[in-house]
């Protein structure tokens, strides 16, 4: 039996907050210092495109009070229109966050630009990016299939709009907000279903509730003064370590300094309600974000997870792959609905999960917006090949099951974990009690 015990102090800094801190720093006047910036591939893509568009960025390492090395990013900018026309297409690699959110900024710049990505990103839908930017007055061209490359002819004369998000998307909400900062007047972004709110928090935007809708008010052409940012540990990364502890009986793991923003850490409440041994300690607020330590004790099993509420799905969209694998292995069952957004991620995550769970002997039924795991029909012998579909969250979800349960899996393209969690295996190996 495998047991995992110890304290985790080196989780990757939060990806979502790192992206936004860099983009907001590039829009601000003065020197922005970002402490504990993510070193993951996606966040480095954001820094890279900002540099290619004329922003001065310095990265350096410092020693934290805990003794570990952390990354500090310093950004020098002169405000909303500090960007220069890039000399070549801007490579976003695998980062949809980079491509979508930076498109909002480029739409307001008085030059032409083009955003491209790797083979995976170039297949992902981008019409939801183009539509609001066109309404605001930018000229945006996509491929015939509605994907990247995204070609933008920006303008300093963007119009304020009232934009209702057709589906919950923090990335689309953020790209509209970043564009709206440049517009000549006040923009209102309307959410029927709330998504993660880091952009609103970091920009200190006013939010209004009206007849069930959440309205984010973005003032146009407002000067942004540079300010420091601290990036807490990524709750999505923490989900993998939490699941490791819950799958391996007798484990006890303490995960330090995790972002507990309620739009990001809702999976903890789901697991607690299912009987998981999870406790939050040392909770406090830094820079408007709730931060705390997660203590995981495996003292009993968990009930099968059933997830269908659209609001909840929006909050846990990145954690669903791990939750599905956890529930399948812990209880033999899992049920998910209203999650069609999963089909537009780095892979079609619904299909990827069903394909791989079936290879492991689980009885699954797939739907357009989710799937059901009904039970386990057989336990395969020998090593099972798991297809990561070049998706970091798929790869890590099944790697956790392999480590916790002790099954042999051959996961394709496993190095893709570096997109968001470069020290994934180092942390897991350091927790195993031998």
Q: Which of 197, 257, 318, 391 is catalytic?
A: 318
| Dist CA 246 CA 277 (whole Å) | 8
CA Rg value for the chain = 21
Residue with tokens 């900024």: 105
The residues with which 258 forms a beta bridge, in sequence order, are: 233, 292
- Running DSSP on this structure, what letter comes out for residue 345? S
User: What are the residues facing 306 on neighbouring strands?
Assistant: 335
Rounded distance, CA 384 to CA 257, Å? 35
**Per-position DSSP letters for 112-172, written without gaps between them:** EEEEE--TTGGGSB-HHHHHHHHHHT-EEE--TTSBS-EEEE--S-PPP-EEE-SS--HHH
Beta-carbon count within 10 A of 90 CB? 24
Q: What is the C-alpha to C-alpha distance for residues 131 and 140, in angstroms, rounded to an integer?
A: 8
- Residue 131 among the catalytic residues: no
Q: Does 149 sit behind a cis peptide bond, omega within 30 degrees of 0 on the bond before it?
A: yes
Burial of 375 (0-12, 13-18, 19+ CB in 10 A): middle
For 25-64, the DSSP string reads HHHSEEEEEEES---SHHHHHHHHHHHHTT-EEEEEEEE-
Only one residue has tokens 């002790």, namely 406
Cα separation, 432 vs 434, whole angstroms: 6
CA–CA gap between residue 318 and residue 307 (Å, rounded):
14
E strands, 273-333, are: 277-286, 289-297, 305-307
Parallel, antiparallel or unpaired: strands 3-8 and 252-259? parallel
Residue 427 CB partners (closer than 8 Å, separation 6+): 8, 10, 11, 241
Q: Which residue has the tokens 């989780």?
A: 11
Would you name the residues annotated as active-site residues? Answer: 318
């Amino acid at each position: 039996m495998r047991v995992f015990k110890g304290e985790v102090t080196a989780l990757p800094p939060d990806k979502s907050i790192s992206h936004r801190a860099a983009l907001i720093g590039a829009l601000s006047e003065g020197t922005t210092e970002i402490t504990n910036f993510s070193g993951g591939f996606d966040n480095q893509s954001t820094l890279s495109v900002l540099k290619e568009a004329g922003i001065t960025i310095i990265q350096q390492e410092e020693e934290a009070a805990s003794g570990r090395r952390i990354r500090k990013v310093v950004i020098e900018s002169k405000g909303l229109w500090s960007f220069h026309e890039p000399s070549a297409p801007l490579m976003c690699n695998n980062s949809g966050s980079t491509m979508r959110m930076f498109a909002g900024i480029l739409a307001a710049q008085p030059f032409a630009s083009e955003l491209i990505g790797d083979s995976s990103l170039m297949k992902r839908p981008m019409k939801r990016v183009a539509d609001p930017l066109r309404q605001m007055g930018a000229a945006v061209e996509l491929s015939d299939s509605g994907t990247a490359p995204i070609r933008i002819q920006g303008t300093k004369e963007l119009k304020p709009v009232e934009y209702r998000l057709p589906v919950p998307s923090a990335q689309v909400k953020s790209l509209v907000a970043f564009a709206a900062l440049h517009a000549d007047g006040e923009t209102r972004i309307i959410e029927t279903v709330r998504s993660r709110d880091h952009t609103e928090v970091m920009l200190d935007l006013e939010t209004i509730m009206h007849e069930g809708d959440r309205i984010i008010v973005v003032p146009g052409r407002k000067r942004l003064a540079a300010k420091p940012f601290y990036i807490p540990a990524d709750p999505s990364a923490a989900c993998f370590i939490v699941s490791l502890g819950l799958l391996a009986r007798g484990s006890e793991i303490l995960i330090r300094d995790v972002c507990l923003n309620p739009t990001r850490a809702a999976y903890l409440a789901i697991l607690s309600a299912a009987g998981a041994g999870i406790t939050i300690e040392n909770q406090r607020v830094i820079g408007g974000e709730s931060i705390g330590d997660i203590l995981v004790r495996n003292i009993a099993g968990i009930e099968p997870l059933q997830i269908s509420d659209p609001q909840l799905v929006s909050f846990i969209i990145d954690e669903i792959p791990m939750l599905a694998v956890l529930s399948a292995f812990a209880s033999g069952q899992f049920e998910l609905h209203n999650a069609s957004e999963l089909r537009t991620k780095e892979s079609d995550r619904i299909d990827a999960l069903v394909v791989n769970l079936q290879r492991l002997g689980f009885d699954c039924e797939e739907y357009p917006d989710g799937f059901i795991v009904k039970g386990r029909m057989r336990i395969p012998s020998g090593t099972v090949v798991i297809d990561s579909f070049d998706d970091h969250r798929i790869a890590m979800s099944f790697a956790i099951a392999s480590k916790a349960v002790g099954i042999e899996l051959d996961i394709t393209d496993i190095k893709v974990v570096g997109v968001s969690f470069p020290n994934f295996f180092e942390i897991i190996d350091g927790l195993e009690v031998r």
